[in-house]
Amino acid sequence: MSRSRYVSPFPRFQLSGQEEADLHQLAGALVASSLAEFESFTEEYDRLGNGTIDSKDWKFVREREKLRAYTGRSKRFHKSASSSHPITSTTTNNNKDPGGPGSVGKGSTAPSRAASMIAGANQQNQHATDAMPVVLVVGAVQGSLDDMMYGIMNHSVDVARVKNSYVDDMETDLAVLAALVTPTPALPYESLTIKWAALEQKAVVRAVVKKRDFVYMEMTGMRTLARTGARVGYHMVHSLHFPQTPELESCVRANLSIAAFCRASPSVANEVQLCVRGVADPGGSMLRVAAVGNMAAGFTSLWRNVECANRKKLAWLMASTHSRSLSDGSGSGSGRESTLSAARADGAGTFCATCGKPPRVLAFSRGARRRRCGICTQYLCSSCRIKKTLSYIHAGTDALVRRDLAFCSACVLQARSLDSYKLAQHEAATSYDHFHADARVLAAGSSSGLSDQFQ
C-alpha cells in the first residue's frame, strides 16, 4: 500500500499554542463528563443485573460474541439522549478535569474557542442529532483490562495500521494531523491526537457511493472511578472542524461522536465489560439503516482488541527471543536459524513438542520452518500447530506485511501471560518500534513458502 495513503491531505494544518491548550481542555471536559455518565450507567446496569437493558428505550439490533448492540427507539429519545450525552453536547464548561500532569486535558474548564470547534461540528451534524439514533453496545470480552487497552492503543499511523490488520481489516486512508499527548511510562495508555481518516467503500458500491472521511479528536487513557476506585479505560472520538481541513472533492465529510469505556468485570475473572455509546452522520444520501448497521457492526467487533493485544505480545516474545539468541552468541546469523540448527544437531525436538508424536520422513525437508514453532523452534505435528498471522511495516517499502506462522500452545500461552501494562510502559520508555524491528524475525520465521499479503 502506498505511503501516500498515510500522508495528510491538509499540508498546512498547524495548531497555535492557544489552540492546543483549548483542545487539551476540551478533551478533559469530554472525558470527565463521559466518565460521569459511564459511572451512573454502570451503577444502574449492575443494579438490574444479567446485562438488562430497558427495552422501552432501546431496540436490540445484533449480537456478536458477548456484545449486544441497541439503538434508541424513538426520535424523542434520541433528542433527549443527544442533548444530555456528553460526547454530543456543545456544553463543555465547568467540567473538572480528572487527569494529572501530562494526561489528556490540562485545566478545569473548556474555553469558548474550544467549545466553538465542537459547536461547528455539531451544527454541520444537525442531521445526525435530529435523525440518527444513538447506538449503544454493552457486554463482556474475555481478557484483562490491560489487554483491552494495549489492543486499543492507536496513537500513531504505524500502530493504527498494524492494529487495523488485526481488528477489522478495513482499507483506510489515515493521517495524524497533530499528536498533543503521547504515551509515557507513567501513563502508557494516554494519548490525544487529531486525525483524518477516509474509509474505502466496498467494491460493489464503490462506483455509486463516495468514500466517507472524518476529521476528529481521538482520546485514550485510564481513569479511576471516584465512588468505587475501579480502573476504567476509555477510547473516545469526536468530529471537529478546522479552517485548515476543508471538505475534499473525493470524499463526503462525515461526523461521529463515540465514547467507549471498559472495566474489569466485578464478578468474573479475566473478563472485561464494555460500554460503547455513539452517534454518526455518514453525510450524503446514505440510508439511516445502513449507517446504524455499520456502527453496530463496528462496535460489536471491539472484542478483537484483546486478540490484537495477544498478537502484539506474540510478536514481542518472538522478537525478544530472537534478540537474546543473538546477544548470547548462539550464532552470527538468524538467532532462530542457529537455534534450529543446534536442535537438529543434538537430536532435540524430533518429536512434537505438544503431543509427542514423531515427525514424518519429510519433517526436516524443504518447508520445515512452518512445521516448527516460530518462538521455541520445536517441531510440531499438523494437529498441534497453532497458526497465527502477524503483521509489521516493511522498513524498505513501508508496506504492511502479514506473515503466516506456526506456534506451539506453550509459547502462545506464555505470550498471553505477558503483562500488557508493562509492555506498554516499555514501548513508551524506549520508543520501541516492534512493528519495524520485528521484520527480521518475522521474515526469518515465515520463509517457508507461505504467502505474504501486502497492503
Q: Give the residue ranges of the chain where pLDDT is below 70.
A: 1-4, 48-52, 74-131, 169-171, 201-208, 284-293, 324-349, 360-370, 431-455
CA 129, chain centre distance (Å) = 26
Q: Tell me which of 302, 331, 357 is where a domain ends.
A: 302
Same domain as 259, residue 319 = no
> What is the structure's pLDDT at 115?
55
Q: Is there a single domain that holds both residue 171 and residue 65?
A: yes
Same domain assignment for residues 43 and 181:
yes
Long-range contacts, stretch 401-405, CB < 8 angstroms, 24+ apart = 401/439, 401/442, 401/452, 401/453, 401/454, 402/165, 402/452, 402/453, 402/454, 403/442, 403/443, 403/445, 403/446, 403/450, 403/452, 404/446, 404/450, 404/451, 405/370, 405/374, 405/442, 405/445, 405/446, 405/450
Say whether both 274 and 361 belong to one domain: no
Same domain assignment for residues 192 and 315: no
Q: For the segment 227-286, what is each residue's pLDDT rounded down to a tens digit? A: 888 999 999 999 999 999 999 998 889 888 999 999 999 889 999 999 999 888 877 665
Does 195 share its domain with 282? Answer: yes
**Whole-number pLDDT of residue 346:** 40
The total number of structural domains in the chain stands at: 2
Average of per-residue pLDDT values in the chain: 76
Cα distances (Å, whole numbers) of residue 369 to 315, 333, 377, 402: 17, 16, 8, 17
Q: 274-293 pLDDT, tens per residue? A: 999 988 887 766 556 666 66
Q: Are strands 135-142 and 172-181 parallel, antiparallel or unpaired?
A: unpaired
Which pLDDT does position 344 carry in this prediction? 40
pLDDT at 322: 77
Facing residues of 258 across strands?
Answer: 237, 278
Among the three residues 302, 327, 347, which one is the final residue of a domain in this structure? 302
Q: Which domain holds residue 358?
A: 311-454
- CA 17 → CA 68, 100, 221, 296, distances in Å? 42, 20, 23, 37
Question: 333 and 291 share a domain?
Answer: no
Q: Torsion-angle region of residue 169: left (phi > 0), alpha (psi -120 to 50) or beta?
A: left
Residue 450: predicted pLDDT: 31
**Same-domain status, 87 and 143:** yes
Quick one: 295 and 338 in the same domain?
no
**pLDDT for residue 192:** 98
Q: How many CB atoms lie within 10 A of CB 64?
A: 16
Residues 55 and 197 in one domain: yes
Instruction: Count other C-beta atoms under 10 Å from residue 187's C-beta.
Output: 21
Looking at residue 234, which CATH number applies to its domain? 3.30.530.20
The pLDDT value recorded for residue 88 is 35
Instruction: Give the end of a domain, one of 274, 302, 330.
Output: 302
pLDDT in the model for residue 90:
32
Residues 256 and 369 in one domain: no
Is the same domain home to 330 and 187?
A: no
pTM of the predicted structure, to 2 decimals: 0.81
